[in-house]
Structure 1
Amino acid sequence: MNSLIDLSTIHDASTRLSTDIVRTATIMSPGLSALIKRPTYLKLENTQIGGSFKARGVLNKFACIQEELATQRFVAVSGGNFGIAVAEAAARLKADVTVVMPQTAPASSINRIRALNISVVVAESVQEAFAHATVLKQQGYVVLDDCADTAIAEGHGTLALEFMADCKELTDVFVAVGSGAMLAGVATVLKAAKPDIRIWGVETEGANSMDRALRSGKPVEIEVSSIVSTLGVPVISDIMLHHAQAYLEGIVVVSDSDAIRGMMSFGEDGKQWVEPAAGSLVAGALKVAPKLPPDAVVGLVVCGGNIDQKDMQKWIRTLNIS
């Protein structure tokens, strides 16, 4: 069985990253508190460099392999945010990186990476994106894998050190799952600081690979069909599943439509510009909140804000949301 991340490695990552990332704010949201009917605090990783929490894990990983950056070629598969974080770090550190993205990824994310003069390959599907990365691996590329790399998860976990320092009252924290790496790092910190805290993973239908893995007791490959590309991972790795089994209170699966409505609630009620993966947290919290104790204090890890107006309008039209 895979071992769990050691808390000390996340503290090491925090020290390593101290001058490279933003210590993002934690705020109480009156509007979302009223909607969820519990005090609700937001960890604003949508204001992180690169527009998402992914910079934490990527920069921690690059710091751990800095001697290889000048001699190796790298490939990363991404639905958006991971690719942006990899591209921005690679451009700064002069690393040779190719980012492979499914065509469902936001056009704004693809354009942003290309603007950094980083090679982008757009594949027809998530599965084909991973298959293309496998081909490049066979050609000698090193895969940057946020689905199974604990150095990346440890970097992501640094956000939870800040969240707990800012809001010790938290009883229930909602985390968008995706690859499971952020969940693993964040849960390691939260459970060490407060063993009785409840951690809820949130996925969308058609991107619920962690839900399927937990129900089966092992990784299960799914056909990714959700429009929320940043959550679209075909199969959860053993190591990330192990962390979910150890720490999660439960998984909440919401529809794409509810994720988009949650994104709109973030704007209208929370006064934050976020992407659908973050919007899924509102939908998840609304499902769980009625079962929580009256004195529960909710935390939402606002994972990213990398969308533009065209992306938002397209999703609203596609799902016929009014």
Structure 2
Amino acid sequence: MELISIDDVRAAAERVQGKVLRTPVLHCDTARGGLWVKPENLQQVGAFKLRGATNALACLEPGIRAAGVVTHSSGNHGQALAYAARAAGVSCTVVTPENAPPVKVAAMRRFGAEVVLVPPAEREPTVARLAAERGLTPIPPFDHPDVIAGQGTIGLEVLADVPDVATVLVPVGGGGLASGVATAVRALRPDVAVIGVEPELAADAAESLAAGRLVPWPPERTHRTIADGVRVGLSERTFAHVRARIEKIVTVTEDEIRTAMAALARDARIVAEPSGALASAAFLAGRVTAEEAPAGRTVAVVSGGNVEPALLAETLVPPTGHA
């Protein structure tokens, strides 16, 4: 499997410049010390996915792009592709699992996407059918070199804004974000540790790395986690990137995810969805020890903030019921 290069990431940065937000890196004081966060929840669609979708769409030949695009997504990639497609004046269809958060489904429709709801296991077959029937071009949420390169622009920005960074923590679901960030960081700063973070209830990537081969988890296992954005597993392409360029993968519990959501809201004024809080959760829970990561600044990627209001409110209320 051919891996993307730093040149691919740099080219993507040029394509998305002015079309996506160059998010800042912010300091967050926590009980475990200082953490730096990259708040991709500030993107126009509330998640990092806009980078990959914008780059992939820009790479299509004009005639192919004009025929329209299709994808599958639990929400964030669907929103991103819909937003980018609307800006380019092309149609976008998103195949979405029936249990996707309503706030994300509503946002996809608001950005102009046709949303097709299906059982989780039928997402990819439905995309293939619609592409064949309508002449649409599939743009996968992570299993595509142009998507991975677009996500890698986050790594370039982290290195530019935090020259003394020692560790970058990144959520792992389908692996596009982790693959892209690790490509950029390891190419330019091989001394920096890039560590992936998964929920314990959807730890297929950690198991795959341990086994040395791709170990898929069925939807009935991964859908137990509240982190809906990482319920999908690695592809052969992203597994190849992760295995070659990620230092390791650690896991966090559901309670630790909720705690991180609350900490980001209270300490950094950042609204993070469960998937977006994964990287910060690993830091706050002490999942990355001094022996596993070099001394220096730690940057956690907050991948998104498209959270159901009720869930966010729930995480902000401590067990005693007092704010």
* Cα pair distance change 1:73/1:295, threshold 3 Å: closer
TM-score where L is the length of structure 2 = 0.89
The aligned counterpart of 2:271 is 273
Q: Determine the C-alpha separation between the residues in 2 that align with 1:23 and 1:107.
A: 28
From 281, 284, 295, the counterpart of 1:283: 281
Q: 1:186, CA displacement in angstroms? A: 0.6
> Is this contact kept in 1: 2:166–2:294, CA < 8 A?
no
Give deviations 1:154-195, integer Å, cap 9, x for gaps: 111111111101101111110001111111111111112211
Would you say 1:188 and 2:183 are equivalent positions? yes
From 204, 213, 222, the counterpart of 2:217: 222
1:1-322 to 2 correspondence within 5 Å? 2-29=1-28, 31-32=29-30, 35-37=31-33, 39-125=34-120, 127-139=121-133, 140-223=135-218, 224-225=222-223, 226-233=225-232, 235-285=233-283, 286-292=285-291, 295-313=295-313
Amino acid at match of 1:108: V
Q: Which moved more, 1:39-48 or 1:285-294?
A: 285-294
Q: Which moved more, 1:300-309 or 1:173-182?
A: 300-309
Query: Matched residue pairs, number?
Result: 314
Secondary structure in structure 1 of the residue aligned to 2:94: strand
Identity %: 27
Q: Determine the C-alpha separation between the residues in 2 that align with 1:321 and 1:87.
A: 41
Q: Which moved more, 1:115-124 or 1:63-72?
A: 63-72
Q: Which runs of 4+ in 1 moved over 6 A?
A: 314-317
* Cα pair distance change 1:314/1:268, threshold 3 Å: closer
> Is this contact kept in 1: 2:169–2:196, CA < 8 A?
yes
Give deviations 1:105-158, integer Å, cap 9, x for gaps: 221110111123321112233x23233223324434422113310101111111
> Is this contact kept in 2: 1:84–1:112, CA < 8 A?
yes
Q: Which moved more, 1:263-272 or 1:138-147?
A: 138-147
> Is this contact kept in 1: 2:79–2:111, CA < 8 A?
no
Secondary structure in structure 1 of the residue aligned to 2:201: coil
Q: Determine the C-alpha separation between the residues in 2 that align with 1:101 and 1:151.
A: 22
Q: Which runs of 5+ in 2 are unaligned?
A: none
Secondary structure in structure 1 of the residue aligned to 2:286: helix
TM-score where L is the length of structure 1 = 0.89
Q: 1:239, CA displacement in angstroms? A: 1.7
Q: Determine the C-alpha separation between the residues in 1 that align with 2:20 and 2:66.
A: 25
> Is this contact kept in 1: 2:214–2:236, CA < 8 A?
yes
Q: Determine the C-alpha separation between the residues in 1 that align with 2:257 and 2:180.
A: 23
Secondary structure in structure 2 of the residue aligned to 1:148: coil
Q: Determine the C-alpha separation between the residues in 1 that align with 2:156 and 2:109.
A: 33
> Is this contact kept in 2: 1:178–1:203, CA < 8 A?
yes
* Cα pair distance change 1:294/1:321, threshold 3 Å: farther
Q: 1:256, CA displacement in angstroms? A: 2.4
Q: Which runs of 5+ in 1 are unaligned?
A: none
Q: Determine the C-alpha separation between the residues in 1 that align with 2:235 and 2:99.
A: 22
* Cα pair distance change 1:98/1:315, threshold 3 Å: farther
Q: Determine the C-alpha separation between the residues in 2 that align with 1:196 and 1:246.
A: 15
Q: Determine the C-alpha separation between the residues in 2 that align with 1:307 and 1:321.
A: 23
